[in-house]
């Protein structure tokens, strides 16, 4: 993975997180942002997946797994 690919992946994850923040705000305004709500649970599961993806990207970056730009 190049640094450009890393940056693109991070931008995608941040975009997805922004979308989920808006969805969570909508659920909160409708009183559905609680652990018993299936929609809220789905958003939190997706958020956890994105956090794991970001952690892997950052670990790869720190460990020097990035390859030079082609």
Q: What is the pLDDT of residues 46-64, one digit of tens each?
A: 999 999 999 999 998 888 7
Tell me how far apart the alpha carbons of residues 65 and 33 are, in angstroms, rounded to a whole number: 38
Q: What is the pLDDT of residues 19-39, one digit of tens each?
A: 999 999 999 999 999 989 999
What is the radius of gyration, based on Cα positions, of the chain? 16
| Best CA proximity match to 11, nearest among 50, 63, 52 | 50
Tell me how far apart the alpha carbons of residues 45 and 51 are, in angstroms, rounded to a whole number: 10
Query: What is the model's pTM?
Result: 0.80
Q: By the 8 A CB rule, do 66 and 8 touch?
A: no
């Amino acid at each position: 993975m190049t640094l450009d690919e890393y940056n693109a992946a991070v931008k995608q994850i941040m975009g997805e997180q922004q979308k989920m923040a808006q969805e969570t705000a909508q659920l909160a305004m409708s009183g559905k942002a609680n652990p018993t709500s299936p929609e809220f649970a789905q958003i939190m599961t997706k958020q956890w997946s994105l956090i794991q993806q970001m952690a892997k990207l950052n670990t790869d970056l720190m460990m020097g797994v990035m390859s030079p730009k082609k």
